Amino acid sequence: MGHFEATHELDVMIEENGYDDHFHDHHHGDKYQSNFIHHYIFSMDHKIIARQFLITGIFWALIGAAMSIVFRLQLGFPEESLAWLQPLLGKWIVVSEAGIGKLAPEFYYALVTMHGTIIVFFVLTAGLSGTFSNLLIPLQLGARDMASPFLNMLSYWFFFLSSVVMFYSLFLNTGPFAGGWTAYPPLSALPQASSGSGAGMTLWLVSLTFFVVSVLLGGINYVTTVLNLRTKGMSLWRMPLTIWAFFVTAILGILSFPVLVSGFFMLMCDRGLGTSFFLSEIFIEGQALDYIGGSPILYQHLFWFLGHPEVYIIILPAMGLTSEVLSVHARKPIFGYRAMVYSIMAIGFLSFIVWAHHMFMSGVNPFISNFFVVFTLIIAVPSAVKVFNWITTLYGGNIKLNTPMLFAIGFVSMFISGGLTGIFLGNSAIDIQMHDTYFVVAHFHIVMGVAAFFGMFAGVYHWYPKMFGRFMNETLGKLHFWGTMIGAYAIFWPMHYIGMAGVPRRYYSFDTFDSFAHFGDLNKFITIAAIIVFAIQVVFVINFFVSIWKGKKMTTRNPWGATTLEWTTPIDTGHGNWPGKLPIVHRWAYDYNKDERDFVTQITPLAEGETPGDH
């Protein structure tokens, strides 16, 4: 699909029109990249750091997904023996005298908790935003690197440290933390309440504190880079939507994660220093505790003040990637660019004033909920605008249905399906019944789990050539897409029905209650679908790693015929991204099929008499 054999042409254009920042005057020899350790491990190059985030994210995604398979086996096949997992899980498989191995309930809850924590923070925050913000912000803005490459490196290594601590906690004798990824006290504060709330919770808190440091270092860098290091001509309104999404995401992270950490510190004080921020009037294990006057609900406010923006921290980058991929492969400008930007900003702003919609049923004053209902449901409007704009982007296009495009289309489908159920849950009156049922599980998995993964996959397949100079295999990519698309709906669609029937989430077994006991067939079906989808993800992982060395080589700089700057760099993009001058930007990022030209790169000056595409 070579459109443009223009390796030299692009260089010539940049050399003629570009902006000389005397790059080579400062970087003689560029020693720090000269050996393996500095090049691939303690690298300060944003492209390497992006790949480090991505590969660490894949590692965690496999662990997080494998955990879900284990607890799905328990839920779908409670009668079957899990004794075969004993070599791996040891004492957490309790074998009865009849030889039937069951997951210990404590460990079931530990798995559920770790699955959530890992996927939300390590995969969909670090693995998604960390990867693509790092890769694309400098490349698409025409910057040599991040504003502070050193902080950028620290950002990854704090994530790594956080990962190591969390990974270590999986092997504790008392088990990892098991009180849900939201870690509500008093359950998370009292080791008497749950075995995972001892050392497991301590490590969980330490790990996530490191993680927040990582997010903040990254976020400060992203914001600074976007504000200060845009190349000449790259006004804010010429930035691709990916950058807008990463920019707003980073701001959300900077504003919300510190609040989470303050909550964590207070929790640590309650756990270790005898304060009563979140604890009051507790009698547990035959003992009345000394804590008086705290409020568990305060923690929930602090948590969800991050927790809600967090879901947008997850989904906005996926939206940005999807917008870009849809536009490139439909060979059309993204429809309503400015509306898209304003929607991102509106969603970002609103995400800060809706947090208590997670708490309608937690004992907050019902009057307060009125405000949160209103703001929550307002989010549906910018979200709807985005969906309609994506669909209109397809309208009248010339669509190449390759793997990245399929995942982008899949993203839109998932975002619609999961977003619409949010309208039920955001309405507090319906939430009375739906809160903490499988309906919620279905909703958030589709809208911020599967959809975010789809955005991420679209991004990985689309920018893989930029990262590794090779393509991922298209056949396996399509297999991956179809398996995931069909499989993900097969997993989560039935959960709506189970939720409507009233079955609560986070139940280890449904047998105790006659009301919840009769959905065994659906639970089996879900588990089987989950196993298949997991197997399909293994196909992706194989494709990913094999293609690094064996994939089809990239022979042209701009294989997709895209307009953005990252495709104007050499195939083997070195440190500093552009070998000579920096490109100068003359137009917005979406001049596809304008004036009889298939695409016009951002570095192409306006022809005489040409009106800009975003007039």
Partner 1 sequence: MSGLIIFIIVILIAVILVQLGRVADLASKIRGEEKVASQQNDRTAFWLVVFMVVFLIFCVVSAIYYKDMMLGYGPNLAASEHGGKLDSLFNVTLFFTGIVFILTHILLFWYSYKYRYKKDRKAKFFAHSTNLELIWTIIPSIVMTFLVVKGLMVWNEVMPDVTPQDEVLEIEALGYQFAWDIRYPGNDGKLGTREFSKIQPGLNDWGMDWEDEKSQDDILLTGADMIVLPVDTLVRVRITSKDVLHNFYLPHFRVKMDAVPGLPTYFIFRPTTTTEDYRERLREYPDYQVPADPEDPEGPQRWETFEYELACAELCGKGHYSMKRILRIVSREEYNEWLAGQKATYFSSIRGTDIDPFKGQLLGSEIKNRKRELNAAFTNALKGDAEGDQIIRLDHVFFDSGSSTLKEMSKYELDNLAGLIKTNNISVELSGHTDSSGDDDANMKLSEARASTVLQYLLDKGVSSEMKAVGYGETKPVESNDTEEGRAANRRTELKIISK
Provide, rounded to whole angstroms, the least separation between the CB of residue 404 and partner 1.
12
Instruction: Using the CB atoms, write b or e for 366-387: b if 16+ within 10 Å.
Output: eeebeebbebbebbeebbebbb
Asked if 341 interacts with partner 1 (CB under 8 A), we say no
> Closest CB to partner 1 among 95 and 501?
501
CA proximity to 386, closest of 305, 451, 481:
451
Q: Which of 91, 550, 555, 580 is the binder for partner 1 (CB under 8 A)?
A: 550
Q: How far apart are CA 436 and CA 359, in angstroms?
A: 11
Task: State the Cα–Cα distance between residues 183 and 190, nearest whole angstrom.
Answer: 11
Residue in 35, 374, 553, 555 binding partner 1, rule: CB under 8 A = 374
In the structure encoding, which two tokens stand for residue 52, read together? 């480090």
Q: Is 502 in the site for partner 1 (CB under 8 A)?
A: yes
CA neighbor of 116 nearest in space, from 298, 307, 318, 355: 307
Mind giving me the DSSP string for 259-292? Answer: HHHHHHHHHHHHHHT---SS--S-EETTEE-S--
In whole angstroms, give the CA distance from residue 261 to residue 121.
Answer: 14
Given 40, 42, 150, 482, the residue binding partner 1 (CB under 8 A): 482
Q: Does residue 24 bind partner 1 (CB under 8 A)?
A: no
Confirm or reject binding of residue 455 to partner 1 (CB under 8 A).
no
Which of 121, 335, 407, 454 forms a contact with partner 1 (CB under 8 A)?
335
Question: Segment contacting partner 1 (CB under 8 A): 175-183, 217-225, 556-564, 566-574?
Answer: 175-183
Please report how close the Cβ of residue 340 comes to partner 1 at its closest, in angstroms.
10
Rounded Cα–Cα distance for residues 468 and 54 (Å): 12
Among 383, 379, 323, CA closest to 353: 379
Q: Given the complex with partner 1, which of 132 and 510 has the nearer CB atom?
A: 510
337 binds partner 1 per the rule CB under 8 A: yes
In the complex, minimum distance from the CB of residue 24 to partner 1, in angstroms, rounded to a whole number: 38
Q: Residue 528 interacts with partner 1 (CB under 8 A)?
A: no
Q: Considering the complex, state which of residue 49 and residue 340 has its C-beta at the smaller distance from partner 1.
A: 340
**Residue from the set 25, 286, 609, 611 that interacts with partner 1 by CB under 8 A:** 286
Single residue of 308, 581, 587, 594 touching partner 1 by CB under 8 A: 594
Q: Does 99 help bind partner 1 (rule: CB under 8 A)?
A: no
Task: Collapse the DSSP code of 588 into the 3-class scheme (helix H, G, I; strand E, B; otherwise coil) and give the result.
Answer: coil
The bridge status of strand 592-594 relative to strand 597-599 is antiparallel
Q: Is 333 in the site for partner 1 (CB under 8 A)?
A: yes
Residues in contact with partner 1, shown as a per-residue x/- string from 213 to 242 under the rule CB under 8 A: ------------------------------
Cα 365 to Cα 255: distance, rounded to the nearest angstrom: 26
User: Smallest gap, in angstroms, from Cβ of residue 512 to partner 1?
Assistant: 5
Q: How far is the CB of 384 from partner 1 (least distance, A)?
A: 4
Contact call for residue 187 and partner 1 (CB under 8 A):
yes
Site for partner 1 in 59-98 (CB under 8 A): 87
Which of 133-141, 157-165, 267-275, 287-295 is the region at the interface with partner 1 (rule: CB under 8 A)?
Answer: 287-295
Residue of 80, 515, 574, 606 interacting with partner 1 (CB under 8 A) = 515
Binder of partner 1 out of 167, 407, 516, 578 (CB under 8 A): 516
Instruction: Decide if 232 contacts 19 (C-beta within 8 A).
Output: yes
Q: What does residue 6 show for φ and ψ, rounded to 5 degrees? A: -130, 25
Q: How many CB atoms lie within 10 A of CB 322?
A: 34
* Least Å from the CB of residue 363 to partner 1: 4
Of 40-48, 90-98, 542-550, 565-573, the segment contacting partner 1 by CB under 8 A is 542-550
Token pair for residue 23? 């790059």
What is the sign, positive or negative, of the torsion defined by CA atoms of 58, 168, 118, 150? negative
Closer to partner 1 by CB, 64 or 613: give it.
613
Q: Residue from 373, 447, 451, 452 that binds partner 1 (CB under 8 A)? A: 373
Our CB check for partner 1 shows the closer of 275 and 593 to be 593
Among 25, 36, 273, 475, binds partner 1 (CB under 8 A): 475
- Bridge partners of 582, per DSSP, are 19
Check whether the bond before 186 is cis (ω within 30° of 0): yes
SS3 103: strand
> Can you tell me which residue has the tokens 């793997």?
403
Site for partner 1 in 390-409 (CB under 8 A): 390-392, 394-402, 406, 409
Q: Is 488 in the site for partner 1 (CB under 8 A)?
A: no
Instruction: Give the nearer residue to partner 1 in terms of CB position, either 467 or 539.
Output: 539
Asked whether the beta carbons of 278 and 266 are under 8 A apart, the reply is yes
Residue 598, classed as helix, strand or coil, is strand
Q: Does 172 bind partner 1 (CB under 8 A)?
A: no
- Pick the closer one to partner 1 by CB: 222 or 415: 415
Contacts 24+ apart (CB under 8 A), 397-400: 397/330, 397/331, 397/332, 398/330, 398/331, 398/332, 398/593, 399/329, 399/330, 399/331, 400/1, 400/329, 400/330, 400/331
Site for partner 1 contains 429 (CB under 8 A): yes
Residues 501, 507, 513, 519: is their CA dihedral positive or negative? positive
Q: What are the helix (H) ranges across 501-573?
A: 520-550
Q: Which is nearer to partner 1, 1 or 273 (CB)?
A: 1
**Residue 572 touching partner 1 (CB under 8 A):** no
Q: For partner 1, how many residues bind (rule: CB under 8 A)?
A: 132
**Contact call for residue 524 and partner 1 (CB under 8 A):** no
Contact flag: residue 423 with partner 1 (CB under 8 A): yes
Q: How far is the CB of 519 from partner 1 (least distance, A)?
A: 8
Residues within window 242-261 making contact with partner 1, judged by CB under 8 A: none
Taking the complex as a whole, how short is the minimal distance between the CB of residue 66 and partner 1, in angstroms?
13
Residue 592, strand partner residues: 599
Taking the chain, what is the end-to-end CA distance rounded to the nearest angstrom? 30
Q: In the range 110-139, which residues lie near partner 1 by CB under 8 A?
A: none
What single-letter DSSP state applies at residue 358? G
> Which of 184, 265, 352, 534 touches partner 1 by CB under 8 A?
184
Q: Does residue number 508 form part of the binding site for partner 1 (CB under 8 A)?
A: yes
Position among 369, 527, 573, 604 found at the interface with partner 1 (CB under 8 A): 369
